[in-house]
Structures are given as C-alpha cells and as structure tokens.
Amino acid sequence: MESRIQTIHSGKWIHYRVAKFTDPGGTERSWEYVDRTDDRIAVIIVPICRPSNDLIFARQYRPAMGCDVVEFPAGLVDEGESFAETAMRELREETGYLGKVIWESPILCSSPGVTSERTCLVGVEIDENDPANRAPEAACEEDEWIEVMRIPQLTAAAELKALSSDTVIVDSRIWAWLVSPGFDNPGG
C-alpha cells in the first residue's frame, strides 16, 4: 500500500501528519500519526553491570505522560555517529557509566500506531571493576533531570512492578526485555 502524506502541523521536535491510503479491500482511509522533524533514530541502551548483573535505568519526568517514567537510558543518533557510538555517549551523559557494546538489535519501532519513530536497542556491559565506574557522575543536558536507578537483575521485575503507580510508569521496553527468554543477550 502506498500512502499520501499531509503535514497538518510542524513543531520544534515533531510533525503531526495524516497518511491517506487505499486498504487491501479498495476503501480509502486516513491515519493520523506523529514523527520526528529530523528523522533521527533513537538508541535505547540496555546496560548490565558485571559481575553483579545489576541493571541501570533512568527515571525522569515525561510531560506527555504527566508523571515520571522509568526507562532505559536513550538518545538520538547524531550525524555521522554509529549506534554503538551513540550508546556510549548517551550512557556516559545520562548515567556517568562507561561500558562496551555487546549486541545491537535491528531497526525497531516502538508504537507504530501513533508514531513513525525508529529505534535500535544496544546492549552494553559495564565493568564494575573499572575505576571509572566506581563513582559515576552523569553529565545530563540542561533539559534533562534524570535519576539513575541501579536494580539487581533478579529482582528488577518485582521492584519495578511495586514502583509502578499513578505517578511512576515503567517503559514497556523494559518490561518486555525483562520477561523475555534469553533477555541477557538477545543478539547472541
């Protein structure tokens, strides 16, 4: 199917669009969605500390949700940057940790019913014995207010479920990753 795209509104970060298309039965349809103004891919980092197997999460207020959201650290790929380079830069900025990439997913979508956003999950191993990781300090951008959360892998699902409320929501990617078989290394 081919879509004809109409831009209804463009803001600083997103476009509000309407896609008009003909469905397989021959009916004309339209679908509303948003996409980024710059089409950059978002890298979502899955950081695992070794040898403890603790997981690192970012908790921050998300205006669209109206509450705090617990997420994996993430960021947009800059021009000329690889997914791995973005993961290392964003991990350092948002959490203060240094790590090494151990796997990358293919290009993924997160909520294709409402956005055209493309993402890539990047697994990162953090060496707790590295002196740089003993007292990490985040260097967030001025519009980021991130609380770094470190939770043991074995109790992460239970702790995040207990934390979830009207004022804190857990990103679905974390939950899907935690309850998936082979979640420790989906790329290998």
What tens digit of pLDDT does each residue of 12-26 get?
988 999 999 999 999
- The predicted pLDDT at position 139 comes to 81
Residue whose C-alpha is closest to residue 152's, from 43, 44, 45, 57: 57
Q: How far apart are CA 57 and CA 151, in angstroms?
A: 8
- The predicted pLDDT at position 184 comes to 60
Give the tokens for residue 91.
């991990």
- The predicted pLDDT at position 106 comes to 95
- The predicted pLDDT at position 88 comes to 97
What is the number of other CB atoms lying within 10 angstroms of the CB of residue 54?
Answer: 19
- The predicted pLDDT at position 141 comes to 75
List, for the chain, all residue ranges whose pLDDT scores fall below the cut of 70.
181-188
- The predicted pLDDT at position 183 comes to 58
- The predicted pLDDT at position 137 comes to 86
Q: b/e map of 126-140 (b: 16 or more CB within 10 Å)? A: beeeeeebeebebee
- The predicted pLDDT at position 80 comes to 95
Domains contained in the chain, CATH given: 3-36 (no CATH), 42-179 (3.90.79.10)
